[in-house]
Amino acid sequence: MIGHTDNTIEIDAPIGFVWDQTNDVRAWPELFSEYAKVEVLTESDDSVTFRLTMHPDEQDRVWSWVSERTWDRDTWTVRARRVETGPFEFMNITWVYEELGPDRTRMRWVQDFHMKPGAPVDTPGMTDRINANSAIQMSLIKEKVERRRRRAVGFHDVPSNTRRGGDLRTLVSPATCGSSSGFCGAVRLAPGEGVSEHYHPYSEEYLFVATGTLRVDLDGEPLTVGAEHALLIPRNVRHRLTNIGGDDALAVFQLSPLAPRPELGHVDTEPYPEKVGT
Domain finish residue from 125, 148, 171: 148
**Nearest in space to 111 (alpha carbons), one of 124, 125, 127, 122:** 127
Question: Which residues, at least 6 apart from 252, have a Cβ–Cβ distance to it below 8 Å?
Answer: 184, 185, 186, 207, 208, 210
Q: Name the residue type at position 232.
A: L
Q: Residue 275 — very low, low, confident or very high, per pLDDT cuts 50/70/90?
A: low
Q: What is the percentage of the chain residues whose pLDDT exceeds 70? A: 99
Q: Name the residue type at position 125.
A: G
**pLDDT at 263 exceeding the cut of 90:** no
pTM of the model: 0.86
**pLDDT at 151 exceeding the cut of 80:** yes
| Residue 8, CB-side half-sphere exposure with 13 Å CA sphere | 8
Q: Where are the beta strands (DSSP E) in the chain?
A: 3-11, 35-44, 47-54, 64-72, 77-82, 88-101, 104-115, 167-172, 183-189, 194-199, 204-211, 214-218, 221-225, 229-233, 239-243, 249-256, 267-268
Residues 197 and 169 in one domain: yes
Question: What strands, in cross-sheet order, belong to the sheet with 47-54?
Answer: 3-11, 104-115, 88-101, 77-82, 64-72, 47-54, 35-44
Total domains in the fold of the chain: 2
Domain finish residue from 118, 148, 178: 148
Query: 65-90 burial string, b = 16+ CB within 10 Å, else e?
Result: bebebebeeeebebbbbbeebeebee
**pLDDT at 277 exceeding the cut of 80:** no
Residues 115 and 59 in one domain: yes
CA separation for the pair 167, 56 (Å, rounded): 44
Domain finish residue from 148, 182, 210: 148
Residues 53 and 140 in one domain: yes
Average pLDDT over residues 72-96: 96
Domain span holding position 117: 3-148
Residues 36 and 144 in one domain: yes
CATH of the domain at 18: 3.30.530.20
Render pLDDT for 33-69 as a digit per residue (tens, 0 to 9): 999 999 999 999 999 999 999 998 888 888 899 999 9
Average pLDDT over residues 115-137: 95
**Of residues 199 and 264, which shows the higher confidence score?**
199
Residues 7 and 136 in one domain: yes
Average pLDDT over residues 107-123: 95
Q: Residue 57 in contact with residue 129, Cβ under 8 Å?
A: no
Q: Name the residue type at position 253.
A: F
Render pLDDT for 214-249 as a digit per residue (tens, 0 to 9): 999 999 999 999 999 999 999 999 999 999 999 999
Residues 64 and 90 in one domain: yes
Residues 58 and 139 in one domain: yes
Residues 214 and 240 in one domain: yes
**pLDDT at 119 exceeding the cut of 80:** yes
Residues 15 and 130 in one domain: yes
Residues 66 and 118 in one domain: yes
**pLDDT at 278 exceeding the cut of 60:** no
In this structure, is residue 216 part of a structural domain?
yes
CATH of the domain at 238: 2.60.120.10
**pLDDT at 276 exceeding the cut of 70:** no
Residues 112 and 162 in one domain: no
Residues 8 and 126 in one domain: yes
End-to-end CA distance of the chain: 65
